[in-house]
Every structure is written in structure tokens, then in C-alpha cells.
Amino acid sequence: MHDRTLALLADDLAARRVSAVELTEHFLQRIEQFDAQLNAFVTVTRDEALAQAAVADKRLAAGNATPLTGIPIAHKDIFCTQGVKTSCGSKILDNFISPYDATVVSRLRDAGAVMLGKTNMDEFAMGSSSETSFYGAVRNPWDHELVPGGSSGGSAAAVAARMVCGATGTDTGGSIRQPASLSGITGFKPTYGRVSRYGMVAFASSLDQAGTLTRTAEDAALMMQVMAGFDERDSTALTDPVPAFSSALETPWQTITIGVPENFFDDGLDEGSAQAIRDALRVFERLGATIKDVHLEHVHLSVPVYYVVASAEASSNLSRFDGVRYGHRAENIDNLTELYMRTRGEGFGAEVKRRILTGTYVLSAGYYDAYYLQAQKVRQLISDDFARAFADVDFLMGPTTPTPAFGIGQKMDDPIQMYLNDIYTIGANLAGLPALSVPCGFSGGLPVGLQLIGAHLSEPALLKVAHYFQLETDWHTRVPAAYA
């Protein structure tokens, strides 16, 4: 059963070829069998999952099910889940049991999806390798000595190892697309505001966006159909109606113009990855697409702009973790100042501390104009570059990451090299654009991801283009041998 996509399993459930309880038990057995190798889960909710599956079977029998009813999924441990620990991969929230569900969680639950557990992640989503977690590094199913990408690495590894049908993730600077690329699956980030951020613990509020990690674009469309939509509890949620994501995939292919950012094919791009991207573009040419080179003038500034803006917002958002109301609290303290200092010193890891300090610095008196305000101005220039590009092309395509998966510990002592791993993905977040990564080949035996970027609110067309690519190729069907 684990070798079938979410869409195929939805058909099996609807036809009663398998029950939701049987499907849930099967995937729970795979988690028990494989997760010790990968460390993809922080929490496994076995009893809750079987109870939800039993309810799903009743809905299926009554004929009032949705396509996701009975489908086993997992949530990145940054989404609040009522009665279940929400840790964000941090010691400071290791004892936090959420009293409510995030909107993403409640919408998927109401659709009948079965939550198998919460997945491991970089602490507070700050990282590109899933190594900064309080619970230890996540390992890549293709090679356990390599990272799966981050920060949504637990979700990516769980899907790649076929321990779940699909999983939620969050993307602040590439944290869905980058692990999808390194793990050989499909990762989708919608337009900023398309999916509610209510109950999603904030890292950088103007950049964070919820999305999906699945095997295929078709599966992503099924999840997005439920996750997207206005939420009055999120002031940044878009009021635009939810399009028919799945139906869009069934419409006939139309000739498109694809822009290839020449900036993305730089000296830092692995040659094997570059060749896989070129081969993928030839697939689109065979489908009738026109390929056109484009230049994004300011995109090379994405990384410094991102780490100023994101760190500033992280500094503000993480100020709430003070040991007073919830989470870790230092013991044997003498005064309030000591409570704050020791709680945060004990509770946060090195990367989180680094970004809080950076953010506090760029927001401080005398440096706000020089750093934060300047970064916001350049952010607008980057957004304008994308807008000009989309006046001439329908989509942008290029590599998702500079290299395939790298070794655990390889970049932990060099933050700049770690940050550069997101050099091709950050621009879409700064501009609030929808983007996804799909498997398109291998380099040195490791998966390579093709990144597709669309204009604002172009998710249905973007998923359709990715779907047609996957109808023409089989890279998305490849699975690590140990997990087949």
C-alpha cells in the first residue's frame, strides 16, 4: 500500500478496497520499522490515529467522505495540535501541549485525514538541514549519512521513506522546496497568504507560508484543496476564493513560455544537477513550451536581504518565549531578569540564538536604517524583478538547490555555506510567490529537484505544469531501495 500515491490510495478507500484502519495500521508499522533509522518523527500519535481512522471508515461507509478521508498524513511540529506536543524542534517547547489546533490541522482533520504524528525539524524552522533540532538530526532516506534538507526535513524524510502519504511543512526561505529536492519528492509552497498561518508558530511572519510535501503534484493539489482559503483569525490570509486545484490538472496542455534565470546557473551549481535541469527543460520543449533566458537583476542579493529581514522578525516573534507563561522555565532563579536570561539561554539552541542576536542588532537604534530598512528596499527591487519577468514568461524554472544532499555535520561550522544552500529558493519568499520543487533526475546517485516559480495566485497552473512533467517522466516514482 505504501507504494501508491495519495491520489491512488484515495481511490482505493473510496472503492473500499482497503479500510482507513488497515491503511493507518500499515503506515504505523512502517514508522515503527524505519523511524529509528531516520529520526523523522518527534511524536507518533498511534492511538489518536487509529481512532481517527475508525471515524473515517464510518464516513466512507456513509458516503459523505472527501478525497482525503482516511489518508494518513503527518504535520511538521511547528503546527499547533490540540492535546499533542508542539515543540518546534526546541527544548524551550519540549513540554508544551497545545490547547488548540492550527487552521491547517483542523481543516485537514475535518476533511477526514488521519494524523500519524508530528515530524522533526530545524529548531523554530531555522536551518537548511534539519540538524538544529533539540531531538537530533534527521537523516536522508537515500543515505543515512546525509541530511534530508530543512527545515521541513522530518516531513520530507517521512514521505520519501513512504512512512506517510503526505505531510505539511512550512517554507520561509525554501524550507519545503529544498528538503523536497534533497529527498526526491514534490514540495509545494503557495502564494503568501493562500494558506492560513493561524496556529503555525511564527519564525518570520512576512515570509512564513504553509505548504505540502508529497510524492506528486497531483497529491499536493488534493491537500491544497483543503488547506487553502480565507481565515478570519489570520490578518494576512487572502480573501480570494479557493480555486479547483485538482480539476485544473485535468485541463488540456497549453503552450507556455518558460523563463530560465541565468543567475541560477552560476559557479556554485553542481554540474550533475545542472545537467538534470537542462534535461528537464528539454521535456517541456517536447511538450511544446518555449524556453527563454531571463535575468533577475537583484536576485543575487536575496540571501543577505533574507537574513536581515528574517532575523529581525525572528527576534521579535521569539521574544514571547520567556519562561513566564508556558514552555521551559529555568529553576532556582532569584529575579525576573535572571528568569529571562537563563530560560532563554537554556531553551534555545545555537542557531536560534545567532538569529535572535542578528535580528536584535539590525533593529537597534542607529542600525535600523542601515540594515533593516535597506533590506526592505532591496526586497522590493527583487519583487519588481520577478514582476517584470512574468510580463514576458508564464513560469520560471531552474535548480532548487546548488548541490544534492550533503553530509551531516558538513556545514554546521560554517553558517554562510549553510545559508547559501537556499540561494535559489529565497527569492520566491521575498516576493510572496508560489513555487514548487519536483524530482527531475540524479547527480552522483542522489535526487535533484527542478524548481518552478509562478506569478501570484497561479497555483492551479503551476501544479498543472508540474503534473504534466510527471506524466512524462518517472523521477517521482523513484524510492530509496531500503524503503521500497
Confidence of residue 416 (pLDDT cuts 50, 70, 90): confident
Model confidence pLDDT, tens digit, residues 150-163: 999 999 999 999 99
The Cα–Cα gap between 14 and 389 comes to 43
Model confidence pLDDT, tens digit, residues 308-346: 999 999 999 999 999 999 999 999 999 999 999 999 999
Angle between helices 459-472 and 217-227 (to 10 degrees): 160
What is the distance of C-alpha 356 from the center of its chain? 22
The residue annotated as part of the active site, out of 19, 76, 129, 133, is 76
The strand pair at 446-454 and 395-399 is best described as antiparallel
The C-alpha cell at 156 is 520530507
Instruction: Give φ, ψ of 293 to 5 degrees.
Output: -75, 140
pLDDT in the model for residue 255: 93
Model confidence pLDDT, tens digit, residues 349-380: 999 999 999 999 999 999 999 999 999 999 99
Model confidence pLDDT, tens digit, residues 37-68: 999 999 999 999 999 999 999 999 999 999 99
For residue 398, the cross-strand partners are 451
Segment 156-176 shows an average pLDDT of: 98
Rg, C-alpha atoms of the chain: 21
Segment 280-308 shows an average pLDDT of: 97
Whole-angstrom CA distances from 171 to 71, 189, 195, 240, 460 are 23, 7, 12, 21, 19
Measured at the alpha carbon of residue 301, what is the angle toward residues 299 and 302, in degrees to the nearest 5? Answer: 70
Q: DSSP state, 436?
A: E
The C-alpha cell at 79 is 503546527
The residue annotated as part of the active site, out of 98, 133, 175, 302, is 175
**Secondary structure of 136-199 in HEC code, one letter for each residue:** CCCCECCECCECCCCCCHHHHHHHHCCCCCEEEEECCCCCCHHHHHHHCCEEEECCCCCECCCC
For the chain, the first-to-last Cα distance in angstroms comes to 11
Measured at the alpha carbon of residue 428, what is the angle toward residues 422 and 429, in degrees to the nearest 5? Answer: 80
Model confidence pLDDT, tens digit, residues 238-266: 999 999 999 999 999 999 999 999 999 99
The Cα–Cα gap between 25 and 9 comes to 14
Is residue 131 a contact partner of residue 408, using CB atoms and an 8 Å limit? yes
Residue 141 has pLDDT above 90, yes or no: yes
pTM to 2 decimal places: 0.97
Model confidence pLDDT, tens digit, residues 417-462: 999 999 999 999 999 999 999 999 999 999 999 999 999 999 999 9
Model confidence pLDDT, tens digit, residues 295-313: 999 999 999 999 999 999 9
Burial zone of 327 (CB within 10 Å; 0-12 exposed, 13-18 middle, 19+ buried): buried
Residue 175 is a catalytic residue: yes
Dump strand ranges (E) for 316-456: 395-399, 435-443, 446-454
The Cα–Cα gap between 316 and 482 comes to 43
Is residue 116 a contact partner of residue 27, using CB atoms and an 8 Å limit? yes
**Domains (ranges, CATH) in the chain?**
6-259+391-483 (3.90.1300.10)
Residue 151 is a catalytic residue: yes
Question: How would you classify residue 117: left for phi > 0, otherwise alpha for psi between -120 and 50, otherwise beta?
Answer: left
The Cα–Cα gap between 453 and 263 comes to 15
Residue 130 is a catalytic residue: no
pLDDT in the model for residue 484: 95
The strand pair at 395-399 and 257-261 is best described as parallel
The larger pLDDT score, comparing residue 416 to residue 187, is at 187
The Cα–Cα gap between 90 and 397 comes to 35
Q: DSSP state, 289?
A: P
Largest CA distance in the chain: 71
The residue annotated as part of the active site, out of 151, 311, 315, 458, is 151
Model confidence pLDDT, tens digit, residues 102-136: 999 999 999 999 999 999 999 999 999 999 999 99
Residue 283 has pLDDT above 90, yes or no: yes
| Spatial CB neighbours of 347, under 8 Å, sequence gap ≥ 6 | 90, 91, 92, 321, 323, 327, 328
Residue 415 has pLDDT above 90, yes or no: no
For residue 407, the cross-strand partners are 146
